[in-house]
Structure 1
C-alpha cells in the first residue's frame, strides 16, 4: 500500500478569529469582477506535511460508520458533463446509488460541483450555472446542517421525528479513468477533537450558510485511495442527527500527490451533496 506524505492545508488558528468570524463571500456575476484576484474572505491557511495512509486493500474495513467515509463500487452512466440535463441525470443516479449503498428510505441530492485542477481565466462567477466548474476547494473543511432548506414540509413531517436518521452525505468521483493529480484526502472522524473545527460563514446572494474548517492537530489521521478509478467514488458524511460515538462528520481536502508523474492529466472530478434518510430500528 503506497502510504505517502503530503501537504494538507489547514485554517490558521489566528487571534483575528476571536473577534471576527471566518467568512467567504460568493458574489453574483458582475462585469469586471474576477474572484481569482479580488479578496472576498478573511481565511488564512497554513500547510502541514502529514502522513496519508492508503485505503487500497482496506476497503472492507473502512466505512461511513467508523471512519466517516468509504469507497463505493459504481459505474456511472453519465459520460460527460456538457449539458445541464447531464447534471440532473447524475443527481438522480447518485440518489439511487446512496439508496442502495446505505439502505436509505429517502435521498435528495441537492447540489453538484464540478472541479478541475487548472488556472481559470474568467471575469464572471455564476453559482446558478449547473455546469460551472471550480478549482479544488481550499482548506480542510466539513459542511454543517442544511436539512431544513432542502426538505419539503411533507418530508419534514414524515422524517424529522423519532425513528428516522437524517444525514448529509457527499459523494466524490474522478472523471478521469484513473486519478493521479490532486487526489482527495479524508480525515478519520475519530481523530478530530471538538476544538479542531472552526465555524465560518459562507455568504451567497440569497442566504448565509456555514462551513467548518479544520485547525491543525498532530493526532489527525488522513487517508487517500491510490490510483482511484472513475468507478470508485467516495461517500463521506457531513452531518448526522444520530447521537453516539460513530463518525458524524468527515473533514476533507485535496493534496499534491508526490507519486504523480509530471505529465499526468489535471484532476477532474464531480462531487454531490445529499440529504440521506434511513429508518432506524
Structure 2
C-alpha cells in the first residue's frame, strides 16, 4: 500500500510547561465532585496535518528494537477471545514466553494488559484494576514509561526474591510493550510508530499520570519535522509489534519509542 498523509496529535510546546508540569488525573468519584464538569488535566494538544506515515509492509525487516525502537513479529496467538480473566491471564503467560524467546531473556514478567476499541468511550468511573476493561484510543503521541518511572515500575512489580536475583550488575532491564490487532486486517486507525532514530531528547516532555493509589510518569511528544512515522498496512493478529518503553543499557540503542 502507498504511504499515508495523515495527522498526528502532539503535545503543544507551551511556555506553561516551563513552570507547571503536564499532568492528567483519574480521581475516585466522591460527593461534590463531577469529573464531567471539573478539568482533570493541563494537557493541551495540537493536530499536525500533512504528516507522511510510511508503510513498512515490504521493509519491516529493516526495523528492529535496538535501532528503530520497534519491530514486527510473526506469531499466532492461541488466545482468540478476551471474555474472561482466565483469557487475559493465559495471554499474559503466552506473551512472557514470546518475549523470552525473541529477546533471549533469562527472565520476563508481565504486569499490565490494556484492551482498546476504536470508539470514543465516555465514562465518569473507570476501574483500572478490571482485567476486562476496554478503553478508547490514547490521546497524543506518547511513551508510557520515562527514565524516572522505569526504575519505579521495576521495583514495584518484582518480588523480593526476583530483586535479589536480578537487581545487580550484569543484568539489562527493558520494559517492552507488545501490541496486537484484534481484527483480521487492521485498516481503520492503525497504530503509528515513530522511528526512535528521528526523535531528539528535547522533543519529549515528562507528564504525571495520577491515579488513586500512585503517581506515574509518561512522556508526551512535541512536534519536530524530522520525525519519521511508520505503520504496517493491513496488520493482522499474527503480526504483533514489539516496542521499547525503557531500557537500562547505555549507548546508541533505542531507549524509548513513541506511538500515536
**What is the TM-score normalised by the length of structure 2?**
0.92
Q: Which residue of 2 aligns with 1:272?
A: none
Indicate the RMSD between aligned Cα atoms, in angstroms: 1.7
Q: Which residue of 2 aligns with 1:105?
A: 106
Moved more, 170-179 or 23-32: 23-32
Q: Of 192, 195, 212, which aligns to 2:219?
A: 212
2:203/2:224 contact within 8 Å kept: yes
1-side partners of 2:167 and 2:204: how far apart? Answer: 26
Q: Which residue of 2 aligns with 1:119?
A: 120
Measured against aligned partners, the alpha-carbon deviations of 1:195-251 in whole angstroms (never above 9, x if no partner) come to 101000011111111001000000111110000001101000000000000111101
Consecutive unaligned residues in structure 1, runs of 5 or more = 254-281
Instruction: Give 3-state SS (helix, strand or coil) of 2:113's partner.
Output: strand
1:32/1:123 contact within 8 Å kept: no
Alignment CA distance shift 1:36-1:90 (3 Å):
farther
Alignment CA distance shift 1:35-1:235 (3 Å):
farther
Give matches, 1:253-272, under 5 Å: 253=260
Moved more, 234-243 or 43-52: 43-52
Q: Is 1:130 equivalent to 2:110 in the alignment?
A: no
Q: Which residue of 2 aligns with 1:155?
A: 162
Instruction: Give 3-state SS (helix, strand or coil) of 2:207's partner.
Output: strand
Q: Which residue of 1 aligns with 2:201?
A: 194
2-side partners of 1:22 and 1:245: how far apart? Answer: 28
Larger proportion of helix: 2
1-side partners of 2:30 and 2:187: how far apart? Answer: 35
Q: Which residue of 2 aligns with 1:59?
A: 60
1-side partners of 2:205 and 2:128: how far apart? Answer: 24
Moved more, 209-218 or 137-146: 137-146
Consecutive unaligned residues in structure 2, runs of 5 or more = none
Give matches, 1:9-158, under 5 Å: 9-28=9-28, 38-49=38-49, 50-142=51-143, 143-144=145-146, 145=150, 146-158=153-165
Structure 1 residue 74 displacement after superposition: 0.9
Alignment CA distance shift 1:58-1:35 (3 Å):
farther
